[in-house]
Amino acid sequence: MLLLQAGEKEVRCWTVQKGTTAPDAAGCIHSDFVKNFIAAEVVAYADYAATNPTTKGFAEVKALGKYRTEGRGYVVQDGDIILFKIGQSASKK
């Protein structure tokens, strides 16, 4: 499966196995993301492409109600565009 991770500065593509949960998909990007996972902001690529976005970001997708927040139990779908929300690791003193 193909997973797109999107942020303001860059978009990257990652490959994950079918049935992968959002925290495990986040772990493909960085191992600390699994334990610090908060939420996944998700939009299906087909929904994103159908909006024909003319502005930077996801404003039009959000306005149409196609942008959603998912939790730990969410199973990533092929072509999802995801912005992972990750908490900070406890600092080591």
DSSP characters for 21-46? BHHHHHHHH-THHHHTEEEEEEEEHH
pLDDT tens, N- to C-terminus, the chain (93 residues)? 666 666 667 777 888 899 999 999 999 888 889 999 999 999 998 888 888 666 666 788 888 888 999 999 999 998 888 889 999 876 665
- The answer to whether residue 93 is domain-embedded is no
- The answer to whether residue 34 is domain-embedded is yes
Both tokens assigned to 85:
């929300």
Domain coverage including residue 24: 2-86
- Report which of 78, 82, 57, 54 is spatially closest to residue 68, judged by C-alpha positions: 82
Using DSSP's 3-state secondary structure scheme, residue 68 falls into strand
How many residues are present in the chain? 93
pLDDT at 60: 83
pTM of the model: 0.79
Structural domains counted in the chain: 1
